[in-house]
């Protein structure tokens, strides 16, 4: 379950940012998880809640925003959010596309005190 190692890195990053900003605690952590990132949001939440104890994130609210896949068609230049994982342009039906969002996980926001 790689969510545990992801959470450990996330907690390390939160603590590092808190220390750099002379904060005594982290009150909110917001992440964006792409549906194609390979990260399971519920497992990540469970892992965060488990490992945040005795860290600066102990009282932090953990918010996960799930990002659908966004593609850009190289043929007609259409950009679209895919509701299904069918990798083709719904406008021109070309499969010559680039995925421009929805494959990564990002730390989007920290609130510190």
- Over residues 10-25, the pLDDT tens digits come to 999 999 999 999 999 9
Q: Are residues 109 and 30 in contact, defined by beta-carbon separation less than 8 angstroms?
A: yes
| Helix (H/G/I), strand (E/B), else coil: 25 | coil
pLDDT value at 94 more than 80: yes
pLDDT band at 106 (very low <50, low <70, confident <90, very high): very high
d(CA 61, CA 30) in angstroms, rounded, equals: 8
The domains of the chain, with CATH numbers, are 3-112 (3.30.2320.80)
d(CA 104, CA 3) in angstroms, rounded, equals: 13
Q: Are residues 99 and 37 in contact, defined by beta-carbon separation less than 8 angstroms?
A: no
Task: For tokens 């996330």, name the residue.
Answer: 10
Whether the pTM exceeds 0.85: the reply is yes
pLDDT band at 1 (very low <50, low <70, confident <90, very high): low
């Amino acid at each position: 379950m790689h969510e545990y190692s992801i959470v450990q890195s996330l907690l390390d990053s939160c603590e590092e940012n808190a220390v750099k900003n002379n904060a005594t605690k982290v009150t909110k952590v917001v992440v964006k998880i792409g549906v194609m990132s390979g990260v399971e949001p519920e497992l990540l939440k469970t892992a965060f809640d488990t490992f945040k104890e005795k860290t600066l994130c102990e009282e932090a609210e953990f918010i996960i925003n799930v990002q659908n896949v966004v593609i850009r068609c190289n043929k007609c230049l259409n950009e679209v959010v895919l509701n299904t994982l069918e990798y083709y342009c719904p406008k021109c039906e070309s499969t010559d596309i680039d995925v421009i969002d929805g494959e990564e996980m990002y730390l989007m926001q920290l609130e510190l005190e």
